């Protein structure tokens, strides 16, 4: 079989395991600038699946597509270090404040500008845990979707066989290409950076990054065009701004409440046997136990 053209959808996410006080803006959206940013974990699982197809079917190309602010180019480079061939950064102020539906619309517009046979994405991003963007992108492109993929078994005659992980078991399905697959965290971990790829793509940059770089990379990028990470704007992808950003998002954040624990009248006990005997006596007496 000839190689496939694969798009991997990836997101740079705030590391929600390390959240500070300035993490939220007044309008209820996330202040991404104040947080450490990482490659969304399940998108790495998705990248690994794409790289495995590339291993099996020579001639396959893996293209990363991410939407976000300028710094999101970091994860495109990270993906290239691990084996992706190139990437696009979908970035525009008009995207700010988009909910999942507006985000899916923007991404689907970008995908229409890229030639592909298969789209692979992580199941969900850790900052929202919604698992909506994958299926919504598939719907907007009119493609079948296969969610919760754990293993891509084979690709034969334009049909792909995929193993899915469900709550209580596994299901194997076949789907025609092109289609969109979302990958679970239970799928194999992504391979680490590859030294050769790292050397090759170390200076991969977007135009914006080139302009603000201290060193002059223009000559280098002229000689090695593969180092350029294209930036796509609303105009580049011919998106209708009515469907983007806060205005294009049907869901609105009405209120945000920081989690504050309400103190309850709690009894404090020590680890002494005496205290614990008393506690068990209470629980048995009030029928909590037995």
Partner 1 sequence: MNNVFVFCEIDEGKIADVSQELLTKGRSLANELKCSLEAVVIGSKLEGIENEIAPYGTDIIHVADDKRLEFYLTLPFTTIIVDLFKKQQPQIALFGATSVGRDLGPRVSSALKSGLTADCTSLVIGNHEDKKEGKVYENLLYQIRPAFGGNIIATIINPDCRPQMATVREGVMKKEIFNKNHKSKVVAIDVNKVVTDIDFAVEIIERHMEPRKIDIKGSQVIVSGGYGVGSRENFKLLYELAHVLGGEVGASRAAVDAGYADHARQVGQTGVTVRPKLYIACGISGQVQHTAGMEESAMIISINTDPTAPITKIADYNIIGDVGEVVPRLIEAYRKHSK
Site string for partner 1, 60-99 (x = CB under 8 A): ---------------------------------------x
Binding residues for partner 1, how many (CB under 8 A)?
Answer: 77
Q: Which helix (H) or strand (E) holds 222?
A: helix 218-223
In angstroms, what is the minimal distance from the CB of 65 to partner 1?
18
Instruction: Please select the residue that binds partner 1; options are 33, 96, 156, 170, rule is CB under 8 A.
Output: 170
Window 190 to 229, contacts with partner 1 (CB under 8 A): none
* Of 199 and 280, CB closest to partner 1: 280
Among 2, 26, 169, 216, binds partner 1 (CB under 8 A): 169
CB of 203 to partner 1, least distance (A): 34
List of residues 6+ apart from 265 with CB closer than 8 A: none
Question: Is 230 buried (19+), middle (13-18) or exposed (0-12) by CB count in 10 A?
Answer: middle
Whether the Cβ atoms of residue 67 and residue 107 lie closer than 8 Å to each other? yes
Q: How many residues does the chain have?
A: 290
Select from 24, 34, 114, 198 the one that contacts partner 1 (CB under 8 A). 24
Residue 16 makes contact with partner 1 by CB under 8 A = yes
Closest CA to 57 of 7, 103, 101, 6: 6
Residues 131-160 that bind partner 1 (CB under 8 A): 131-136, 138-140, 144-148
Q: Minimal distance in Å, beta carbon 49 to partner 1?
A: 17
| CA proximity to 166, closest of 186, 181, 152 | 186
What DSSP designation does 245 have?
T
């Amino acid at each position: 079989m000839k190689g496939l053209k694969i798009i991997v959808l990836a997101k740079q996410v705030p590391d929600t395991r390390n959240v500070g006080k300035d993490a939220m803006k007044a309008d209820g959206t996330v202040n991404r600038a104040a947080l450490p940013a990482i490659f969304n974990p399940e998108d790495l699982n998705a990248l690994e699946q794409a790289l495995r197809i590339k291993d099996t079917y020579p001639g396959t190309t893996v293209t990363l597509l991410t939407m976000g602010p300028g710094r999101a180019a970091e994860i495109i480079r990270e993906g290239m270090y691990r084996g992706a061939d190139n990437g696009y950064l979908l970035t525009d102020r008009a995207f700010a404040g988009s909910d999942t539906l507006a985000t899916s619309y923007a991404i689907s517009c970008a995908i229409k500008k890229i030639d592909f046979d298969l789209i692979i994405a992580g199941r969900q991003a850790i900052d929202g845990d919604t698992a909506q963007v994958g299926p919504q992108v598939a719907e907007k492109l009119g493609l079948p979707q296969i969610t919760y993929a754990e293993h891509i078994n084979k690709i034969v005659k334009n049909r792909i066989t995929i193993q899915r992980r469900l709550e209580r078991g596994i299901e194997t399905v076949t789907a025609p290409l092109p289609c969109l697959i979302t990958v679970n965290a239970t799928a194999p971990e992504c391979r680490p950076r590859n030294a050769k790829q790292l050397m090759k793509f170390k200076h991969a940059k977007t135009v914006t990054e080139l302009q603000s770089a201290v060193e002059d990379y223009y000559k280098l990028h002229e000689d090695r065009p593969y180092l350029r990470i294209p930036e796509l704007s609303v105009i580049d992808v011919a998106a209708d701004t009515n469907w983007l950003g806060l205005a294009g998002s049907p869901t609105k954040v009405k209120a945000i409440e920081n989690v504050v624990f309400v103190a309850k009248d709690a009894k404090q006990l020590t680890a002494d046997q005496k205290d614990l005997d008393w506690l068990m006596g209470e629980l048995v007496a009030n029928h909590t136990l037995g």
